[in-house]
Amino acid sequence: MAEQLDNYYDTYPDDDGHFGIYGGRFVGETLMEAIYALEEAYNRYKDDPEFQAEMDKDLADFVGRPSPLYHAENWSKQLGGAQIYLKREDLNHTGAHKVNNTIGQALLAKRMGKTRIIAETGAGQHGVATATVAARLGIECVVYMGAEDVQRQAQNVYRMKLLGATVVPVESGSRTLKDALNEALRDWVTNVDDTFYIIGTVAGPHPYPEMVRDFQTIIGREARNQILKSAGKLPDALIACIGGGSNAIGLFHPFIADEDVAIYGVEGAGHGIETGEHSAPLCAGSPGVLHGNRTYLMQDENGQIIETHSISAGLDYPGVGPEHALLKDLGRAQYVSVTDDEALQAFHDLTRIEGIIPALESSHALAYATKLAPTMSPDQILLVNLSGRGDKDMHTVAALAGLSF
Amino acid sequence: MSRIKACFDKLKADGQTALIPYITGGDPEPWVTVPMLHALVDSGADILELGVPFSDPMSDGPVIQKACERALKNDVTLNHVLDMVALFREKDNETPVVLMGYANPLEAMGYKVFAEKAQRAGVDGVLTVDMPPEESDEFLSIMDAHNIDSIFLVAPTTSPERMAKIAQYARGFIYYVSIKGVTGTATLDVSEVAEKLALLKERTDLPLGVGFGIRDGKSAAAVSQVADAVVVGSTLVRCIEEHADRLEELPAALAGLLAEMRHAINAQDMTK
Ligand SMILES: Cc1ncc(COP(=O)(O)O)c(C=O)c1O
């Protein structure tokens, strides 16, 4: 593996967006020229000093970066093992890591002269982050959201509307994130000339998995510097939750060549992997093609995508970014899962012990930390990505306690 | 010679435009698909396009999305659709059949297994909406080896350079998507289509079909002026939806709808 990892950054993806056998450009012909145009624009601007400067300024002054790296001392002590550090993406403007990406794509949309932005959203965090940048740019924004998610994330729906976006509930299929993605792709095909599609995770056709990753690696680059500064060494392990995989790849990517850093991606086990009601394609799926790329999918033996379940709307997706599929096959990252109940317990624990209310998505990463930390020693470091805050989940958590607002 | 080539050669000799209806396999009930295919041939279809149901038909509008949902409710899979083709072939060994669908069911079956089964069933062509030439090398060589034509799409957004690339991959005929949008949602502009087809014609010798946005005899006739083949889908699928609780009337209703387009095209062809 060491040899493969030496060349990792130069090798993946290749020029056609392949991460080994994964990734690629699996879209209908109408969108092909559009994704090439996007790729060209991205390649032109990504190293452009002016673009970079504008991005850095937005990330600092608008988003509030760098996000802190917080040593959760109470919780570490209670768990009785590794020192747990939390990368505080929850403190970003709009409440999650999603905005790192929307800032970048919005700057591209502006340079490409697009007059309309569309997005899909699950938990609503990406929708809010997109509506936010669209409001700033003063351009039209349409967000597709599964009808079921519109209900369970009602607050975020209202936030998007306040920001001036049109939220379109998607009634087809399982009425969750994958169906929102289908509908956004249909919109893009129809309005391809003037519309920029801001995909919210490291999925979709090339160049999205690479581009969104690059925008999100600010998480890992900052975390690397911060831990070296405060602890004087690299962490022993990283943990992040996996919906489409953007917060996770953002944290993992700058550490991939550091072979001594163990990497764990946590999928939603829902009611338990054995029940079939989960959203864990890396743990329990198989390779296939969906939404523009080849990757691990939850599918039946006939290649039909099957319905997923997770307590957190942001993890409720049957696919995963193609780079995670590669990291799994290479054995560089391990993919594990935690159930709804375990995530919920971690949600309450962090809230009571550290005074931080995490998003239910992030609570999956935290729940795995409660398993891993006690197996490690107090001089070891566990770095967990706290991808978002739990404000949006009050509704869901209260309902489970029998309360409503 | 492939059935598709034989079909286009004959039509060309007769100065006729091909009419290609699309229906989704297994919609609304598996048993009516083959009777509908025969009825379509009887009422003027030259080539049949049979949809393989998929859970996430990203390039389709609501009409075909719902057809997929109905078929999937009946648990119709790629294997069943291949069985339908084999059954159709028992009575019709001439009319070309093209499967249209998405990549994942083919991935799940495996390209080789699919090619063998499809060839055995009597499939002549495959159109995989979300598999552009860029991702098709392996698929194409396997289909070629089994004498199955890989049909590719060209869209209004496709540049002339890209048309040339697609032409290298394309077999059988090229399918021009006449609108920017998903199936069944907009009406095409014939002069725009003609312009694109002229560009395409400079880059390929294959016959050119036009689909998406043809909804009646009038639009079918208009397109037949400029194309070698006219593909109709959503209009037929809507008729299927309307007859879902009157299945015994369905093949005849569908045939009537197609016959109207056939007449309109023939009238147009006479003036060529
Ligand atoms: C807070 C938070 N974390 C994680 C995710 C999952 O997405 P990804 O895996 O792309 O980071 C979401 C998605 O909505 C989210 O809102």
Percent of chain B with pLDDT over 70: 100
pLDDT of residue A3: 65
pLDDT of residue A291: 97
Distance A360 CA to ligand 1 centre (A): 9
Task: Give the three-class secondary structure for A260.
Answer: coil
pLDDT of residue B175: 98
Classify burial at B87, counting beta carbons within 10 Å of its beta carbon; exposed 0-12, middle 13-18, buried 19 or more. middle
Contact A304 B54 (CB under 8 A): yes
Catalytic residue among A76, A87, A89, A98: A98
pLDDT of residue A2: 63
C-alpha of A127 from chain center: 13
- Residues in chain B with CB shorter than 8 Å from the CB of A305 are 55-56, 104
- Which is nearest to A365 in space by CA: A386, A389, A351, A380? A386
Contact B155 A24 (CB under 8 A): no
Per-residue pLDDT reduced to its tens digit, A117-172: 999 999 899 999 999 999 999 999 999 999 989 988 889 999 999 999 999 999 99
Mean pLDDT of chain B: 96
pLDDT of residue B188: 84
Phi-psi region of A186 (alpha: psi -120 to 50; beta: other; left: phi over 0): alpha
Does the pLDDT at position A387 exceed 70?
A: yes
Lowest-confidence pick of A221-230, B18-27, B180-189: B180-189
Contact B130 A26 (CB under 8 A): yes
Per-residue pLDDT reduced to its tens digit, A101-121: 999 999 999 999 999 999 999
Q: Using beta carbons and an 8 Å cutoff, which residues of A are at the interface with B?
A: 16, 24-34, 172-173, 178-179, 182, 185-186, 189-193, 287-292, 294, 297, 299, 301-306
Q: Is B60 a catalytic residue?
A: yes
Rg of chain A, C-alpha, whole Å: 19
Mean pLDDT of chain A: 96
Angle at B256 between CA B22 and CA B21, to 5 degrees: 15
Interface predicted TM-score of the whole assembly (ipTM), two decimals: 0.96
Per-residue pLDDT reduced to its tens digit, B177-194: 998 888 887 778 899 999
Does the pLDDT at position A330 exceed 80?
A: yes
State how far residue B226 is from chain A, nearest Cα, in angstroms.
21
Evaluate whether A216 touches A182 at the Cβ level (below 8 Å): no
Band (pLDDT 50/70/90 cuts) for residue A18 is very high
Q: Which residues contact A176 (CB under 8 A, 6 or more apart)?
A: A122, A146, A148, A149, A307, A308, A313, A316, A317
Top pLDDT among A173 and A91 is at A91
Please state the rounded mean pLDDT for residues A301-316. 95
Please state the rounded mean pLDDT for residues B150-163. 97
pLDDT of residue A123: 87
Contact B131 A26 (CB under 8 A): yes
pLDDT of residue A5: 84
Does the pLDDT at position A267 exceed 80?
A: yes
Does the pLDDT at position B20 exceed 90?
A: yes
Percent of chain B with pLDDT over 90: 92
Evaluate whether A271 touches A278 at the Cβ level (below 8 Å): yes
Task: Give the nearest chain B residue to A285 (CA atoms).
Answer: B108
Q: With 0.90 as the threshold, say if the pTM is over it.
A: yes
Q: Which one of A29, A38, A193, A308 would you mutate to disrupt binding with B, by most B Cβ within 10 Å of its Cβ? A: A29
Q: Is B94 a catalytic residue?
A: no
- Which is nearest to A125 in space by CA: A247, A240, A211, A208? A247
- Strand A18-19 vs strand A22-26: parallel, antiparallel, or unpaired? antiparallel
